[in-house]
Structure 1
Amino acid sequence: MSTAIPSSTVHDVEASPAGSARAGGIGALVATATFLFGIVLFVTQLADFTAPDTTVADSVAFLVDNEEVLFVGYAVIYLLFGLAIVPLVRALQQRLHRAEPELSAMSAVFGYIWVGLMFATGMVLTIGMGAVADMAGDSAQAQSLFTAIDTVGNGLGGGNELVGGVWILLVSRAAQRAAALPRWLNVLGIVTALAGIVTVIPALTEVGMVFGLGCIAWFAAVGRELLVRP
């Protein structure tokens, strides 16, 4: 009796890394789109909501008038982004694990933590902002709830970019050592990551814009690499 493994099974096993890379590449491009969407949304329709001189009362009033826009924005920026980077984290770990098993494993941990934080932030904000809108008739209560939800949301995923920065830094360093991605892309990743990490310092939170713009370029380039050279 033959014990040979069917050729279709061997093909499926061998093709799985390529399939993972394609899924990760698509995820990276979706992540790029969510960053672009967020930047455009916040400098256009939500400009008044994010202005530095906006008071809590102004924010609550804006939320009541634009609840649907805020819901879609937070769902895309946090929930869709979180979904998109799951296959990307997996694909990059597979790409790097043979040459850099320790770094790739550590990077995946931070990548999945970032996913969890994005989901938590998105759910807190989408559900919480709806609750604020429902309480709009009681101005004091609505403002108090808004402040609490905004603080929790910032603490989980909007106040600084430490976790995302550490993930990109570990991936870029592992890829640099393994020559798994182009050299320029690893340098871009390291610079972007450092810009995110320093946002833990209150005086440097504005550097988060550098992180956001760097992420757009990094996600787009990584997505292309995974699709073109799986």
Structure 2
Amino acid sequence: MFPVTQQGAPHDKAGGLAALYLALAYIAAMPFFLLVVDYPAATTAAEKVTSIVRNYPSMYAMYLVSYVFLGVVLAVLVLSLFERLRHGSDLGARVATVLGLMWATALVLSGLIFNHGMGTVVSLAEKSPEQAAVVWQAIEPVTDSLSGAGGETLAGLWLLVVSWTALRGRALPTTLVWFGAATGLIGLVSTVPALHEASYAFGLLQIIWFAWLATVLLTHRANALGQIDRQLALGAV
């Protein structure tokens, strides 16, 4: 019988629950913004302000769930994965952690600025819709840049480093690792101006990756596969 780490280690449980939340938050946010509110269809600042005023309470709540809380929960997942990744490459685990926490911070800031900006714009719109539109033109580019609207640089790099480090240390299933690497590459491709639309594919693939990761962390033993391989090589069965 191969020695394995304790099933359901605390950091695995925390990471699994965090990954599950991230998948569910993505599932809730994408149809909300694309179909229910249809915010991306608003092309002018005036149209965006009108959409914000009409949907302010629901948009505020969704930005809390899918940006502010999501960023905090993402930080939990990032720190949880460090415990697995450091056995494959301590440097890789540290780089992945830094990138992940940077991404988490950017998401939290994006959500906080967007929500506060919406409140300001809603108040201004009652007196001067034109001024509200001008203010929103200054706020929106800041929130967009933090959330990755110009391309998923931080998210893509994080997934790539996590996948590379996990592959070296055999910390996650190989198929999940390669799927994560492909998803990370698509995220980086979305940084090319002509290929920004790839971010939609990146978001959908992330849902699968987070859900898959949650399943691994919550239901599988945290196998020290690298240690098992070394033990097999030494004949320790």
User: Does the 8 Å contact 1:17/1:94 carry over to 2?
Assistant: no
* Aligned residue in 2 for 1:82: 71
Amino acid at match of 1:220: A
SS at structure 1 position matched to 2:9: helix
Residue-pair matches, total: 215
| Matching residue within 1, 23, 44 for 2:14 | 23
Larger relative contact order (Cα-Cα within 8 Å, sequence gap ≥ 6): 2
User: Does the 8 Å contact 1:34/1:80 carry over to 2?
Assistant: no
The answer as to 2:120 corresponding to 1:131 is yes
User: Does the 8 Å contact 1:25/1:223 carry over to 2?
Assistant: yes
User: Does the 8 Å contact 2:88/2:170 carry over to 1?
Assistant: no
Which structure 1 residue ranges, 4+ long, deviate > 3 Å from structure 2? 14-17
* Aligned residue in 1 for 2:166: 175
* Matched ranges for 1:1-230 at <5 A: 18-47=9-38, 49-51=39-41, 54-136=43-125, 137-159=127-149, 160-229=151-220, 230=222
What is the RMSD computed on CA atoms of the aligned residues? Answer: 1.6
Amino acid at match of 2:131: Q
Using structure 2 for the length normalisation, give the TM-score: 0.87
How far 1:149 moved relative to its partner? 1.0
Please give the alpha-carbon distance, in whole angstroms, between the structure 2 residues aligned to 1:176 and 1:203. 31
Q: Which runs of 5+ in 1 are unaligned?
A: 1-13
How far 1:43 moved relative to its partner? 2.5
Please give the alpha-carbon distance, in whole angstroms, between the structure 1 residues aligned to 2:90 and 2:7. 19
How far 1:16 moved relative to its partner? 11
Amino acid at match of 2:50: A
Please give the alpha-carbon distance, in whole angstroms, between the structure 2 residues aligned to 1:16 and 1:138. 59
| Identity between Structure 1 and Structure 2 (%) | 32
